[in-house]
């Protein structure tokens, strides 16, 4: 196979991979607390006998963007946005401790505090449970206060505290479930310095306009690679015709 076809084919394949990552970001442009995936192209020489005259492209995932999204006030008692660096500890589908920035919480019929995707929110002693109450509020330190059912508004009791952590960004990796975990498999310790903004949510940090422009650029790059493949095929047919004439 002609080297030019291989180079163009590998380029088209890597552009599709980059397009998939970009489309994933674009699809989550309105997802609360979402962190955008980062990817980049790199060139690599084609190995083999002969002069190293060709290079092909590879796509490398560089991790996720550490930029914060904007904090939007909602006025809802169970909405919280992490103020600056930090994460909310939840229980992942595998039972392990995991971390999220999505603070749109709710209490189910059993009194368990859950995220919007149904993951239990963790406190210092495990999943948090809110007793029957007429009002629930969350403080800036993650403490959960309630007005017990049958009591007056002046009767407020603290029933738990959300576990807030702040491990180094380089120690975290995103799982296929969208939650973050420490690469070493250990649970991060609670950090009393982490604060939340009650009655607010953090938006996605995806730049929707930038992702749209990137999608168009990647589409044009893919078309260019396919045109290169067609040109190489045409050249091969022309060369074959000339050899037959000879």
State whether the Cα torsion 92-127-97-38 is positive or negative: positive
Q: How many CB atoms lie within 10 A of CB 139?
A: 15
Q: Any residues with CB less than 8 A from the CB of 147 and at least 6 apart, and which?
A: 133, 134, 135, 153, 155, 156, 157
Q: Give residue 144's pLDDT.
A: 95
pTM for the full model? 0.80
Q: Any residues with CB less than 8 A from the CB of 156 and at least 6 apart, and which?
A: 145, 146, 147
Q: Give residue 232's pLDDT.
A: 77
Q: Give residue 151's pLDDT.
A: 80
Q: Flag residues of the chain having pLDDT under 50.
A: 1
DSSP labels, the chain: --HHHHHHHHHHHHHHHHHHHHHHHHHTTTSTT---EEEEEEEEEPPSSS----EEEEEEEEEE--PPPPEEE---TTBEEEESS-EEEEE-TTSSEEEE---B-EE-TT-BEE-TTSPBBEETTEE-BPPSEEEEEE-TTSEEEEEETTS-TT--EEEEEB-EE---GGGEEE-TTS-EEETTSPPPPB-TT-EEEETEEEPP---HHHHHHHHHHHHHHHHHHHHHHHHHHHHHHHHHHHHHH-
Q: Any residues with CB less than 8 A from the CB of 60 and at least 6 apart, and which?
A: 39, 40, 41, 42
């Amino acid at each position: 196979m002609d080297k030019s076809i291989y180079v163009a084919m590998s380029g088209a394949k890597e552009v599709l991979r980059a397009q998939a990552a970009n489309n994933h970001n674009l699809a989550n442009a309105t997802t609360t607390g979402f962190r955008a995936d980062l990817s980049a192209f790199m060139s690599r020489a084609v190995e083999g006998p002969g002069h190293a005259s060709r290079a092909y492209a590879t796509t490398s995932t560089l991790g996720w963007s550490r930029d914060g999204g904007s904090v939007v006030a909602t006025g809802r008692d169970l909405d919280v946005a992490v103020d600056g660096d930090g994460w909310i500890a939840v229980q992942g589908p595998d039972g392990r401790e995991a971390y999220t920035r999505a603070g749109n919480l709710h209490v189910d019929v059993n009194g368990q505090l859950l995220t919007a995707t149904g993951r239990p929110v963790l406190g210092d002693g495990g999943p948090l449970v809110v007793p029957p109450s007429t009002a629930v509020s969350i403080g800036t330190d993650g403490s959960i206060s309630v007005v017990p059912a049958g009591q007056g508004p002046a009767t407020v009791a603290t029933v738990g505290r959300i576990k807030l952590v702040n491990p180094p960004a380089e120690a975290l990796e995103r799982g296929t479930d969208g939650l973050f975990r420490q690469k070493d498999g250990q649970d991060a310790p609670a950090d009393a310095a982490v604060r939340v903004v009650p009655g607010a949510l953090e938006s996605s940090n995806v730049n929707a306009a930038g992702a749209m422009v990137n999608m168009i650029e990647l589409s044009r790059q893919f078309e260019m690679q396919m045109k290169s493949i067609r040109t190489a095929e045409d050249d091969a047919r022309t060369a074959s015709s000339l050899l037959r004439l000879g």
